[in-house]
C-alpha cells in the first residue's frame, strides 16, 4: 500500500529490515530442522561415530558388523506364510537370496574367536521386483530397549570412566539379560550352526488386510556343536570364513525361516524383551546357502542390509529400532561408499 | 513497454506456488530426515521419494509451459546486474528442480536401494549399482540441497524487494492476476 506520509527512504529502510528479518527467519527454521540448533538430537552421524573403536573407524568398511563374507543361494517358500502376509516371497516358489555372514564388531580384522555376536544379512528378491532385506544376530533379543539406550551403551563402552558401564546398567537393567547370554550361550565353530534372529517386531499384512505382529528367525539344519572360546582361538583369526567356505563347498547349508506371531499384549516396541516360547510359529520356507565369496569382491559388499527394505505385505511396527537402524545403516553406507579407495577390490571385474 | 503481458499466466502461477510449497517441504523434509534416528525418519523418507518424483514431473511440465508462454518482461528501468541476476536465478531454479530429483533417483539406483513411491509401486533404477557413483551423487545431492535453499532465500528476498522497495510490478507478475495486486507497476 502506498504510504505518502513517510519519506521514501525511511519506508524503504523499514522494508529492507522486514525483508532481512523474513529471510533470516527462513534460514533459522531450516537450521533448526537440520538439527544445527539442537545439539542433543540423536543423529545418524552421532550413532555411527559412537560405533567407531578408539583408533577410529575402518575406512571403506561397514561401521559395525564390519567383518563378513558373502553368500548366495535361494529361498524356497513353502506357501505357509501366505496365511500371514501377501508378500510374494511367501508364495510357494524359489527366490534368489544374497547375504552376508558377519561378526558384530567395527573391526574388519578382529580375530573370530574374540567376537561374541555373529550376524547374518539377507536379501531375497521376488519376480514382482520387490526386495526383502533383514539383518539378524545370534542373540535371541537386543541388549537394550531403545535406540537412545543403545547410543548411551556405546558411549559407556567407550568411556574412560571406570564406572560408566555400572552406571549404564543401573539405568538400563535390561542389559543384564545380554550379559547372561554372553556368559552362558554356547559358542560354535560354524556360521552354519547358528540360529539367526530378526530381533525386531514387524507387521505382516495378509491379502485381506489383516495384520499380525511378528518376529522371525533362521533356524539351522546343522546341529550346533559347542566349542569353548579357547579352542576356537586356536583355529586361527579367520576360522569362521574358512570353515563356512569349506563347508558350503562340500554341500549347501540350510536354515528354516520361522515366523513367530505375537499374542495380543506382547511387547512389540521393545526388542530387549523376548516373547514367551509358547507363541504360535509358522515355518515359511528354507534358506539354502550354495556359494561363499570373499566380501572384498563379493556381491554382498555394496548391499546395505537395511531392515526397512520390505516388500508390500511386511511393514514396520511400533518397534523404534528398524527406523534407527535404517538411518544409521544409510549413514554407514554413505561413508563407506565414499571411501572405496581405502578398501580396494582385488579383482577388476573378472570374477562373475 | 509494449503490449507484452505484465503477469505470468494462471497456469504458470499455479505451478509456481504449488511447486514452491512442494520444494520447501522437500528441503525441510530432507534436512530433517537425515538428522534423526527416530521413527519419523521412515515417515519423512517415505514422503521425500514420491514428492521428489512429483517435483520432477511438475518441473518438466513447467519448463514446457515456460517455453510455450514465456515470461513478462522485467521493468525497463531495472539495473542490468539485477536483470542478469534474475535471469541466471531462473536458469538455476530450472536446473535444480530437474536435476535434484534425478540425482536422488540416480543415487538410490547406484546404492541398490529399491525406489519405492508408495505401496508396491517402484521405479526402475536409472544407473547401475556402483559405490563410486553413489558417493558422487550423494555429495552432489547434499550440497545442491543447501544451494537450492540459499537460492530460494535469495529469490524470496528479491521478490520482497520488488514488492516493497522497488514496487515495480515484478512481484505482482507472479503473485496476482491482472489488476488485483493493489500496487500498480511503477512507472
Between positions 121 and 150 of A, the ones with CB within 8 A of B are 128-131, 147
Return binding residues of A for heme. 329
pTM for the model: 0.93
What is residue A8's predicted lDDT score, i.e. its pLDDT?
A: 59
Strand partners, A253: A289
Yes or no: say if B129 and B109 are a contact pair by the CB < 8 Å rule: yes
What is residue A5's predicted lDDT score, i.e. its pLDDT?
A: 47
CA A255 → CA A260, A292, B94, distances in Å? 15, 15, 52
Q: How many CB atoms lie within 10 A of CB A296?
A: 15
Dmax of chain A from CA atoms? 94
What is residue B3's predicted lDDT score, i.e. its pLDDT?
A: 46
Which of A12, A35, A336 is facing B35, going by the closest CB pair? A35
Comparing B3 with B123, the larger pLDDT belongs to: B123
DSSP A83: G
Which helix (H) or strand (E) covers residue A119, if one does?
A: strand A118-125
Reported as a pLDDT band with limits 50, 70 and 90, residue A12 is: confident
Reported as a pLDDT band with limits 50, 70 and 90, residue B26 is: very high
Comparing A223 with B6, the larger pLDDT belongs to: A223
What is residue A11's predicted lDDT score, i.e. its pLDDT?
A: 81
Which of B38, B112, B152 is facing A302, going by the closest CB pair? B112
- Dihedral, CA atoms, A169, A174, A179, A180, nearest 10 degrees? 140
What is residue A175's predicted lDDT score, i.e. its pLDDT?
A: 96
Is residue B39 less than 8 Å (CB to CB) from chain A? yes
Which of A27, A318, A333 is facing B153, going by the closest CB pair? A27
Reported as a pLDDT band with limits 50, 70 and 90, residue B4 is: low
What is residue B15's predicted lDDT score, i.e. its pLDDT?
A: 97
- CATH numbers and ranges of domains, chain A: 42-342 (2.40.180.10)
Between positions 138 and 157 of B, the ones with CB within 8 A of A are 138-139, 149, 152-153, 156-157
Strand A93-103 to strand B115-118: parallel, antiparallel, or no bridges (unpaired)?
Answer: unpaired
Query: What is residue B69's three-state secondary structure?
Result: helix
Query: What is residue B3's three-state secondary structure?
Result: coil
Indicate if A280 belongs to the active site.
Answer: no
User: What average pLDDT does the structure give for chain A?
Assistant: 95
Residue B187 confidence (pLDDT) above 50? no
| Catalytic position from the list A65, A172, A249, A280 | A65
What is residue A37's predicted lDDT score, i.e. its pLDDT?
A: 96
Mean pLDDT of B107-111: 98
What is residue B180's predicted lDDT score, i.e. its pLDDT?
A: 42
Mean pLDDT of A123-146: 97
Angle formed at CA A333 by CA A331 and CA A334, multiple of 5 degrees: 65
Query: What is residue B81's three-state secondary structure?
Result: helix
Reported as a pLDDT band with limits 50, 70 and 90, residue A347 is: low
Residue A348 confidence (pLDDT) above 60? no
A180: region left, alpha or beta (phi > 0 left; psi from -120 to 50 alpha): alpha
Reported as a pLDDT band with limits 50, 70 and 90, residue B112 is: very high
Stretch among A11-15, A316-320, B52-56, B107-111 having the lowest mean pLDDT: A11-15
Reported as a pLDDT band with limits 50, 70 and 90, residue B6 is: confident
Mean pLDDT of B121-148: 97
Mean pLDDT of A2-26: 80
Residue A61 confidence (pLDDT) above 90? yes
Mean pLDDT of B49-77: 96
- In 3D space, the residue among A228, A220, A227 whose CA is nearest the CA of residue A191 turns out to be A220
Reported as a pLDDT band with limits 50, 70 and 90, residue A1 is: very low
Residue A248's φ and ψ, nearest 5 degrees, are: -70, -30
What is residue B183's predicted lDDT score, i.e. its pLDDT?
A: 43
User: What average pLDDT does the structure give for chain B?
Assistant: 92
DSSP of A186-226? PPBS-GGG--EE--S-EEEE-TT--EEEEEEEEEESSPP-B
Distance, in angstroms, between B68 CA and closest chain A CA?
32
Question: B10-175 — its CATH code?
Answer: 1.20.950.20
ipTM of the modeled complex:
0.92
Asked if B38 lies within 8 A of A26 by C-beta distance, the reply is no
Return binding residues of A. 329
Q: Which sequence spans correspond to the domains of chain B?
A: 10-175
For helices B131-160 and A321-337, angle between their N-to-C axes, nearest 10 degrees:
100
Reported as a pLDDT band with limits 50, 70 and 90, residue B172 is: very high
Which residues on B lie below 8 Å from A311 (Cβ)? 120
Burial of residue A2 (number of CB atoms within 10 Å: 0-12, 13-18, 19+): exposed
Residue A350 confidence (pLDDT) above 80? no
Amino acid at each position: 500500500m502506498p504510504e505518502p506520509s513517510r519519506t521514501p527512504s525511511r519506508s524503504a529502510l523499514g522494508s529492507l529490515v522486514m525483508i532481512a528479518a523474513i529471510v533470516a527467519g527462513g534460514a533459522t527454521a531450516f537450521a533448526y530442522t537440520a538439527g544445527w540448533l539442537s545439539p542433543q538430537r540423536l543423529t545418524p552421524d552421532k550413532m555411527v561415530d559412537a560405533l567407531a573403536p578408539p583408533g577410529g573407524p575402518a575406512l571403506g568398511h561397514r561401521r559395525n558388523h564390519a567383518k563378513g563374507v558373502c553368500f548366495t543361494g535361494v529361498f524356497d517358500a513353502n506357501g505357509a506364510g501366505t496365511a500371514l502376509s501377501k508378500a510374494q516371497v511367501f508364495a510357494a516358489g524359489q527366490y534368489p537370496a544374497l547375504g552376508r555372514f558377519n561378526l558384530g564388531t567395527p573391526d574388519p580384522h578382529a580375530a573370530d574367536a574374540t567376537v561374541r555376536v555373529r550376524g547374518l544379512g539377507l536379501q531375497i528378491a521376488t519376480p514382482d521386483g520387490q526386495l526383502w532385506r533383514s539383518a539378524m544376530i545370534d542373540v535371541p533379543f537386543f541388549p537394550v530397549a531403545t535406540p537412545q539406550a543403545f547410543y548411551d551403551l556405546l558411549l559407556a563402552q567407550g568411556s574412560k570412566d571406570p564406572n560408566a558401564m555400572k552406571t549404564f546398567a543401573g539405568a538400563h537393567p535390561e542389559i543384564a539379560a545380554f550379559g547372561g547370554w554372553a556368559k552362558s550361550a554356547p559358542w560354535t565353530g560354524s556360521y552354519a550352526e547358528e540360529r539367526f534372529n530378526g530381533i525386531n517386531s514387524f507387521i505382516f499384512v495378509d491379502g485381506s488386510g489383516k495384520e499380525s505382529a511378528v518376529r522371525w528367525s533362521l533356524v539351522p539344519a546343522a546341529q550346533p556343536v559347542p566349542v569353548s572360546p579357547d579352542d576356537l582361538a586356536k583355529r586361527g583369526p579367520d576360522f569362521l570364513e574358512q570353515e563356512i567356505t569349506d563347508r558350503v563347498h562340500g554341500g549347501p547349508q540350510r536354515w528354516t525361516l520361522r515366523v513367530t506371531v505375537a499374542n495380543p499384549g506382547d511387547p512389540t516396541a521393545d526388542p530387549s524383551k523376548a516373547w514367551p516360547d509358547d507363541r504360535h510359529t509358522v515355518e515359511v520356507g528354507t534358506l539354502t546357502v550354495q556359494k561363499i565369496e570373499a566380501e572384498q569382491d563379493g556381491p554382498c559388499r555394496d548391499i546395505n542390509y537395511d531392515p526397512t527394505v520390505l516388500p508390500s505385505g511386511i511393514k514396520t511396527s511400533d518397534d523404534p529400532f528398524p527406523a534407527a537402524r535404517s538411518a544409521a545403516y544409510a549413514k554407514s553406507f554413505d561413508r563407506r561408499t565414499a571411501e572405496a579407495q581405502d578398501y580396494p577390490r582385488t579383482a577388476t571385474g573378472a570374477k562373475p | 513497454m509494449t503490449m507484452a503481458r505484465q503477469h505470468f499466466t494462471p497456469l504458470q502461477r499455479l505451478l509456481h506456488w504449488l511447486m514452491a510449497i512442494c520444494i520447501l517441504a522437500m528441503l525441510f523434509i530432507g534436512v530433517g530426515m537425515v538428522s534423526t534416528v527416530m521413527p519419523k525418519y521412515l515417515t519423512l523418507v517415505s514422503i521425500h521419494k514420491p514428492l521428489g518424483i512429483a517435483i520432477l514431473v511438475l518441473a518438466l511440465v513447467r519448463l514446457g509451459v515456460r517455453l510455450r508462454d514465456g515470461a513478462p518482461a522485467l521493468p525497463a528501468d531495472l539495473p542490468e546486474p539485477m536483470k542478469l541476476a534474475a535471469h541466471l536465478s531462473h536458469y538455476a531454479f530450472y536446473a535444480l528442480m530437474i536435476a535434484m530429483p534425478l540425482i536422488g533417483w540416480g543415487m538410490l539406483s547406484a546404492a541398490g536401494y529399491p525406489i519405492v513411491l508408495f505401496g508396491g509401486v517402484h521405479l526402475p533404477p536409472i544407473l547401475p549399482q556402483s559405490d563410486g557413483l553413489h558417493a558422487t551423487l550423494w555429495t552432489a545431492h547434499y550440497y545442491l540441497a543447501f544451494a537450492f535453499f540459499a537460492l530460494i532465500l535469495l529469490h524470496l528476498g528479491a521478490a520482497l524487494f520488488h514488492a516493497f522497495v522497488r514496487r515495480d510490478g515484478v512481484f505482482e507478475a507472479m503473485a496476482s492476476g491482472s489488476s488485483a495486486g493493489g500496487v500498480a507497476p511503477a512507472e
